[in-house]
A and B are shown apart, each in its own frame.
Chain A
Amino acid sequence: MKSLQELAEIRERMKGKVALREGENAIRIVVGMATCGIAAGARPVLNTLVEEVQKQGLSDKATVTQTGCIGICRLEPVVEVFESGKEKVTYVKMTSEKAKRVVTEHIKGGTPVYEYTIGEK
């Protein structure tokens, strides 16, 4: 059973940790969350990205954010990865499984998963 009191415990646990997280997040992972994205399955993709970034210890390196319609609705769910000094990588027709691989290989490993990007067929 969850209680509100657990939030006070989270607060205690996170003392001192939060400031650390606010360091330079060099990578921005953006998920299209307009009607087209949501209908195509963006919600589980977003939640998987958030969970994996946390699980793989990448919270000070990457942030996951949401945006509206990116304009290529038929290829949703769309995920864009922005990294300073590098070209934007656009992933299309994403799933939770693909999202896990993107976090492991691209965000953590530094190599985009080209087969999921918009340029590849």
Chain B
Amino acid sequence: MKELSLHVLDIAQNSVKAGATRLDILLEQAGNRLTIMIRDDGCGMSPAFAAAAADPFTTTRTTRKVGMGLPLFRLAAEQTGGTMTIESRRADPADGRHGTCVTATFFTDHVDCAPLGDIASTIVTLLQGNPELALTYVYRSEAGETRLSTEEMKTLLGADVPLNAPEVLEWVRAYVSEPPGADSGG
């Protein structure tokens, strides 16, 4: 993957496939360290599967026996001196909570760190394919914060305008592309 934003899209597609209704994508740049967290309320993984998920020979796909998403994401993080961790739980009979959280850290001043790239395209692509998803996207840096919540968007758009209407996707692209800290103006 040439961009970290492509990994974000790829890992988020796992969430969608796991039946997630809620997806949080959090990016935080602090000094030379970028943390990317992708958290969902999907079906979750068993402890054994989660432990093995970063191995290419572990996969749920049926078209072939390898799955490269998490292994590539881990490699992208580790080659900068960073790490990737997976926390996951299948539905807990006690409280019913389930889901997966993948967190990776990158040292962005490392020569092998891929650029974040076109994160706006990743968010637009996710909404295009999954207009019902409750998606929260946050990008935080010293300069400020960009925050997008599809639940907030839905309140303003009403029930008749789907989140993947072309006009809405165009707005999302422009909104997410703005540098953080720009006053959202309401």
User: Contacting A6 at CB < 8 Å: which of B63, B122, B166, B171?
Assistant: B171
Chain A residues near B (Cβ < 8 Å): 1-8, 10-11, 13-15, 18, 21, 33-36, 38-39, 43-44, 46-47, 50-51, 54, 59, 64-66, 68-71, 73
Complex contacts, B185 vs chain A, CB 8 Å: 1, 3, 5
Interchain nearest-CB distance for B186 vs A (Å): 5
Given contacts A4-B153, A33-B13, A38-B1, contact A14 B178 (CB under 8 A): no
Q: Is the CB of A3 within 8 A of B186?
A: yes
Is B161 in the interface zone, CB < 8 Å from A?
yes
Given contacts A3-B186, A34-B61, A35-B10, contact A10 B167 (CB under 8 A): yes
A-B CB pair tally, cutoff 8 Å: 109
Central interface residue in B121, B122, B129, by most chain A CB within 10 Å: B129
Q: Is the CB of A35 within 8 A of B72?
A: yes
Given contacts A2-B174, A3-B186, A4-B186, contact A14 B9 (CB under 8 A): no
Given contacts A18-B165, A43-B125, A47-B121, contact A1 B183 (CB under 8 A): yes
Complex contacts, B9 vs chain A, CB 8 Å: 33, 38, 43
Chain B residues near A (Cβ < 8 Å): 1, 6, 9-10, 13, 17, 61, 63-64, 67-69, 72, 118, 121-122, 124-125, 128-129, 152-153, 156-158, 160-162, 165-169, 171, 174-175, 178, 182-186
Q: Is the CB of A35 within 8 A of B186?
A: no
Contact residues of B: prevailing secondary structure: helix
Complex contacts, A7 vs chain B, CB 8 Å: 153, 156-157, 168, 171
Given contacts A4-B184, A5-B186, A59-B166, contact A10 B157 (CB under 8 A): yes
A-B contact pairs, 28 of them (CB 8 A): A1-B178, A1-B185, A2-B184, A3-B184, A3-B185, A4-B152, A4-B184, A5-B186, A6-B171, A7-B156, A8-B156, A10-B167, A10-B171, A11-B156, A14-B165, A14-B167, A18-B160, A18-B162, A35-B10, A35-B68, A39-B72, A43-B6, A46-B125, A46-B128, A47-B128, A51-B166, A65-B129, A68-B17
Complex contacts, A39 vs chain B, CB 8 Å: 1, 6, 10, 68, 72
Complex contacts, A3 vs chain B, CB 8 Å: 184-186
A90-B109 Cα distance, complex, nearest whole Å: 42
Given contacts A7-B153, A33-B13, A59-B166, contact A2 B175 (CB under 8 A): yes
Interchain nearest-CB distance for B5 vs A (Å): 8
Complex contacts, A51 vs chain B, CB 8 Å: 166
Central interface residue in B72, B161, B169, by most chain A CB within 10 Å: B161
